[in-house]
Structure 1
């Protein structure tokens, strides 16, 4: 009798152990990052450290409470994105207590030691922070040597190439595949529509004045980043011939000589104290309009033909480095090719995108003369 019970107990134990092993294997997740590296986790990540705080912009589009799965993040977000940070702060007060791992804007401002001390189950780095512009960076190698999985994502240097794989990677590694695939479908669908409509259209010259009015004229994108948005919207970025890297400074004189057909300024709440273009979440139309009026009346800018002929516009700078840039591309395309996009409403597209977001996305995000 006891032998039978013992044998039965052993069988049940073996079955239970097998079930546990099967469950563990079933929870394991594997995905490839933007460098083609394979990342495998034993289970969806619950303690993520974001090397750059701004990566919450993407995480918050595929997870209903992205703060709940963070163990720490870069301090750049509060400084660079005060309007979006305020929205996360109001919705998820726990964000205030998140440990910081330095300013993720550069490798020099990032603390490897602080990140390691948080014992994350996943470290998320951008291409630039990982040092991957010239091959695998030492941060990736150092984290892996410490036994911490690293995923490299990016929405900045090559956004039209890296956005979809970055979203798919994040969705898989945090157990939000369905939500990420829904966002990818929306994103790709809007880009396909835009590409179809600009086929055969004239390609106008465009100048993007980044952080307009807040610093000396004129910061502008070179290749990648906002340059990709211009190209996808059916325009030609005049700064690519003047700026060797992703971003750079050109003189006001160079801008005046180039005399672009379209002038597009980018702004944000981070420029309010500097008298620059103020756009963003929670910004009312009157505030945005007054800052835009001042910008267009400034010496030099006021003499541009694009300004006098009412082809000058403003975009929220923080459309950059987030999948929401698809809305900015649609908005640009309608400005550059109004007849081809007469029936398209970028505000409706923004509302559709906002349905994915963990925070409200209302405010003045673009402006027209």
Structure 2
């Protein structure tokens, strides 16, 4: 009888394993519309951008265990996030680096040595000549490549790209839970704006403000999409989708009613410091300093105190719903008095994040 039960348990376990692996080989469609076939469940993944570890960490309990190699961009630009992951997953320090996260930074020699079974690239990498060469090279050595996009069209792409990762990693339930959470929060904004069609303020979104001139303004793509989401008006809407330089004369004529600066921690690219590991007091003071430039002083936004700051790398991670809520609360406070990105982040940390996200990711001078 004991032998019978042992055989039965063994049969059940082997059947469960077969069912778990039953989806592979798996064919999926990535963010670029490419059909990609993945022969087996990925266990040795290359991350072309280190920021995509954030996406994995929202649906997998040990995302570092999946890595064969990754890029250094998140570690370099946002060291506090890296340190938080290292504290929980010390083995991350031993994961080989395959590049710097830019489309021109891949090390093909390192990639060849890692015996990966999947590569995940960000859309901005796939759009470069070397990125396309990397995809071709990886496919040549039988490493399937999927491209994810939390950047160029985030409101449309973020939920579906999380579902894509969930499908590939056999974490469908977790990915669907996050995608629905995202869509529910986004629906609140869209429904209220539809019920209040009057236009919101005119807005300048200034990327990495500095003393060298003015200003690189976000266009209607990427984080700039969130301005239009709230029914507000982007003064750089006529620039290329990704944005571009606006002159002082253009800025004075537009006279934006609200000003949003974006930056990263530690003043790497700007004297304004905001993001993981940054205290609210530091973010607020450095934002105030950034807006004391003479070229901004006479703008309506500055004079009326409608000055805000945002972590720029929301344009690389599925946490961008927090940016959408911050914009809604800042730009249309009469319509969104109860929308609180801080509460939303707390729920993300409780329900989804294997490593909590801490720091000042958005700030207001008021």
**Under a length normalisation based on structure 1, what TM-score does the superposition of the two structures give?**
0.87
CA offsets per residue over residues 220-267 of structure 1, 9 Å max, x none? 2224111212112222221132x3251432234432222111111112
**Is residue 261 from structure 1 mapped to residue 250 from structure 2 by the alignment?**
no
Aligned residues: 349
Q: Is the 8 A contact 2:21 2:41 kept in 1?
A: no
Instruction: Select the structure of larger CA radius of gyration.
Output: 1
Q: Which of 267, 272, 276 lines up with 1:281 in the alignment?
A: 276
Instruction: Give the Å deviation of 1:214.
Output: 7.4
Aligned residue in 2 for 1:40 = 37
Q: Which whole-Å CA distance do the structure 1 matches of 2:347 and 2:81 have between them?
A: 18
Aligned residue in 1 for 2:347 = 352
Q: Which of 67, 79, 83 lines up with 1:82 in the alignment?
A: 79
Aligned residue in 1 for 2:110 = 114
276-285 or 147-156, larger mean C-alpha shift = 276-285
CA offsets per residue over residues 282-326 of structure 1, 9 Å max, x none? 222221221122112222222211011111111122222111111
38-47 or 49-58, larger mean C-alpha shift = 38-47
Distance 1:216 1:68, change over 3 A: farther
Instruction: Give the Å deviation of 1:216.
Output: 4.1
Instruction: Give the Å deviation of 1:209.
Output: 0.8
Aligned residue in 2 for 1:183 = 178
Instruction: Give the Å deviation of 1:22.
Output: 4.9
| Uncovered stretches (5+) of structure 2, i.e. residues with no partner | 1-10
Q: Which of 211, 229, 250 lines up with 2:208 in the alignment?
A: 211
Question: What secondary structure does 2:28 align onto?
Answer: strand
Q: Which whole-Å CA distance do the structure 2 matches of 1:262 and 1:195 have between them?
A: 20
Distance 1:248 1:69, change over 3 A: same
Aligned residue in 2 for 1:125 = 121
Aligned residue in 1 for 2:306 = 311
Alignment of 1:150-299 (within 5 A): 150-199=145-194, 200-213=197-210, 216-241=213-238, 243-271=239-267, 276-299=271-294
| Uncovered stretches (5+) of structure 1, i.e. residues with no partner | 1-14
Q: Which whole-Å CA distance do the structure 1 matches of 2:287 and 2:128 have between them?
A: 37
Q: Which whole-Å CA distance do the structure 2 matches of 1:352 and 1:23 have between them?
A: 32
Distance 1:141 1:91, change over 3 A: same
Q: Which whole-Å CA distance do the structure 2 matches of 1:302 and 1:354 have between them?
A: 38
Distance 1:218 1:203, change over 3 A: same
Q: Is the 8 A contact 2:255 2:299 kept in 1?
A: yes
Question: What secondary structure does 1:307 align onto?
Answer: helix
**Is residue 336 from structure 1 mapped to residue 331 from structure 2 by the alignment?**
yes
Distance 1:52 1:175, change over 3 A: same
Distance 1:161 1:260, change over 3 A: same
Distance 1:275 1:210, change over 3 A: closer
Question: What secondary structure does 1:45 align onto?
Answer: coil
Q: Is the 8 A contact 1:76 1:103 kept in 2?
A: yes
Question: What secondary structure does 1:182 align onto?
Answer: helix
323-332 or 292-301, larger mean C-alpha shift = 292-301
Instruction: Give the Å deviation of 1:40.
Output: 3.3
Q: Which whole-Å CA distance do the structure 2 matches of 1:289 and 1:358 have between them?
A: 28
Question: What secondary structure does 1:230 align onto?
Answer: helix
Question: What secondary structure does 2:236 align onto?
Answer: helix
Distance 1:90 1:24, change over 3 A: closer
Aligned residue in 2 for 1:4 = none
Q: Which whole-Å CA distance do the structure 2 matches of 1:274 and 1:32 have between them?
A: 35
Question: What secondary structure does 2:231 align onto?
Answer: coil
Instruction: Give the Å deviation of 1:61.
Output: 1.4
Aligned residue in 1 for 2:3 = none
Aligned residue in 2 for 1:361 = 357
